[in-house]
């Protein structure tokens, strides 16, 4: 696991190769992870409890990217099959995946305090002070 510089051991980066197989997507996931964790660290929002939510956010970004590439190539609607008189045009499943991952990302960005609308409402992570105790 890689740790984002400056975050100490707050949150270690997931092993993207366990979740993704495409090299470009693995690289993109790492870049998204660093961008999100760096912003959260700078705004004092980064906490270990956010690790999985950040991972889900990064995967939503990657799935959105993948689906949008396919939709750009194939279109939002699939063509009817040739020779089949009962075949009809249908919504491309990748278009649906793109929309759902976009919605998931927007929800997670709001929960993590990353969306512009929610930035002011996001509370900083409390750093617990260590109580001094008399040794005895």
pLDDT digits (tens, 9 = 90+) for 44-58: 889 999 999 999 999
Nearest residue to 58 (alpha-carbon basis) of 27, 91, 80, 94: 27
Question: How confident is the model over 74-89, as a mean pLDDT?
Answer: 82
Bridge partners of 12?
Answer: 3
Q: What distance in Å separates the CA atoms of residue 72 and residue 94, rounded to the nearest whole number?
A: 10
Per-residue CA distances from 69 to 18, 65, 121 (Å): 22, 6, 34
Q: Is the pLDDT of residue 65 over 80?
A: yes
User: pTM of the full predicted structure?
Assistant: 0.76
- φ, ψ at 70 (rounded to 5°): -65, -40
Residues 6+ away with beta carbon under 8 Å from 122: 43, 45, 112, 113
Take residue 23 and report the two structure tokens written for it: 């090299």
């Amino acid at each position: 696991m890689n740790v984002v510089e400056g975050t100490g051991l707050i949150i270690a980066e997931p092993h993207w190769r366990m979740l993704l197989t495409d090299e470009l997507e693995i690289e993109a996931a790492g870049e998204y992870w660093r961008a999100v964790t760096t912003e959260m660290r700078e705004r004092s929002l980064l906490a270990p409890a956010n690790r999985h939510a950040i991972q889900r956010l990064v995967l939503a970004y990657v799935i959105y990217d993948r689906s949008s590439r396919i939709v750009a190539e194939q279109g939002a609607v699939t063509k009817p099959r040739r020779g089949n008189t009962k075949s009809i045009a249908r919504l491309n499943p990748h278009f649906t995946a793109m929309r759902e991952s976009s919605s998931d990302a927007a929800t997670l960005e709001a929960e993590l305090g990353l969306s512009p609308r929610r930035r002011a409402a996001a509370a900083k992570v409390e750093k617990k002070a260590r109580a001094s105790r008399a040794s005895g």
